[in-house]
Amino acid sequence: MKILIAPDSFKESLQATQVAEAIAEGIKTSIPDAICKLLPFSDGGEGAFEVLEALNLGALVNTTTYDPLGRIIEAPYFAFTDNKTAWIELSQASGLALLKNHEQNPLNTSTFGTGIQIKKAIEAGLHNIILGIGGSATHDVATGIFTALGGRLLDAGGHELKADGASLQNCKSLDFSQLIPELQKTHFTIACDVINPLTGPNGAAHTYAAQKGAHAAMIEQLEKATRSFSKLLEVKTQKDIVNQEGAGAAGGTAAGMLAFTNARLKNGFDILAELTNLEERIQTADLIITGEGRTDDQSRFGKVPFKIANLAKKHNKPVLLYSGGITANPHILSNSGFTATFALKTPEMSLDFAKQNAFKLLAQKVTDTIKQFI
């Protein structure tokens, strides 16, 4: 019996690797001769490094760079064994988790540190850059990345501006003349799973800025500034990016990368699925097991277990879901391809207890339920 174990993380509880190990432990307790293949997975945002490391596709490279407020930090990127490709996570140097609550302010934060990581990867000969843009603390339309690569933002008087959310409204021209020459032969793929445009009621400011510390007046300021800056971008680059689906991702990082580089946007899950030969692994397995921390009706819109189930359904493979908690409509679950679903948290169990004991609870739940599917 070949079992493919391909779960996402249980947020605030277990990393995807730990989830996979708990499931495997539960299977081995019940069915010692089962052949388990562990493939911890991610939607291409935070957690992608874990997937890549687990498959020995390369190694982490530590860099000295800057956090969203310009403080020196150490942050890694992932270099593939082909010596051509790097996966860089925006959250490593420009992530919200790097800031204390009182420091969160998208007018002041920048993607400059991520730009430094990109520059160092390019200088190391890695000219195929995959940029995962989940977990951002910024709304600078990738101007931080642009300036780290040699670009300049100028005000009406020709004075250079610092790249951050507040500077967007004062930027009147862009200087591309000092961009690093290697940029011309570097290809960018942006792992982007949202469809928000850059501006408007569903744009970057109105949808995401509040999560990054912005209050109502700041959101309006960012929206107005982004509209002004986007017009400048389109005139300078002759690219139509404002209404591009996904351009608003990560405070307009997607829009900026489309304008400043030859980037293309691609679903993060799909990128990882290709890199890991996920569909082929599903085809050769007898049973697929996936999982996540919580499953609700919104999970069907792009969450890892539902993507896994969709591929399993395509190849007529049974797929089991183990989740910390399940509130999704049973019809949605069955129609999505799940053979069966199991929640770890019982009604009488506290959430804190479930989180603190997730590994043990998961392993035991798998032990108790797996035999009926073998």
pLDDT at 43 over 90: no
Alpha helices in the chain (DSSP H): 16-30, 48-54, 90-94, 112-123, 143-148, 204-208, 216-237, 249-260, 268-275, 278-283, 304-314, 330-335, 351-356, 358-369
Clarify whether residues 282 and 264 are in a common domain: no
Clarify whether residues 214 and 297 are in a common domain: no
Nearest to 362 by CA among 8, 21, 32: 21
CATH code of the domain covering residue 201:
3.90.1510.10
Confidence band, pLDDT 50/70/90 cuts, at residue 302: confident
Nearest to 90 by CA among 70, 75, 102: 75
Confidence band, pLDDT 50/70/90 cuts, at residue 239: very high
Specify whether the backbone of 352 is left (phi greater than 0), alpha (psi in -120 to 50) or beta. alpha
Clarify whether residues 77 and 189 are in a common domain: yes
Domain stops at, among 269, 292, 314? 269
The total number of structural domains that make up the chain: 2
Which tens digit of pLDDT belongs to each residue from 83-117? 999 999 999 999 999 999 999 999 999 999 999 99
Pair 236, 146: CB distance under 8 Å: no
Clarify whether residues 294 and 264 are in a common domain: no
> How many angstroms separate the CA atoms of 111 and 98, rounded?
12
> How many angstroms separate the CA atoms of 291 and 306, rounded?
9
The three-state secondary structure class of 127 is coil
**Which one-letter amino acid corresponds to residue 190?**
I
Residue 188 lies in domain: 48-269
Clarify whether residues 130 and 164 are in a common domain: yes
Domain stops at, among 228, 246, 269? 269
Mean of per-residue pLDDT scores for the chain: 95
Clarify whether residues 241 and 283 are in a common domain: no
> How many angstroms separate the CA atoms of 116 and 251, rounded?
18
Clarify whether residues 71 and 100 are in a common domain: yes
| Residue 309 DSSP symbol | H
Confidence band, pLDDT 50/70/90 cuts, at residue 193: confident
Domain stops at, among 216, 250, 269? 269
Clarify whether residues 223 and 338 are in a common domain: no
pLDDT above 90: percentage of residues in the chain = 90
Clarify whether residues 315 and 248 are in a common domain: no
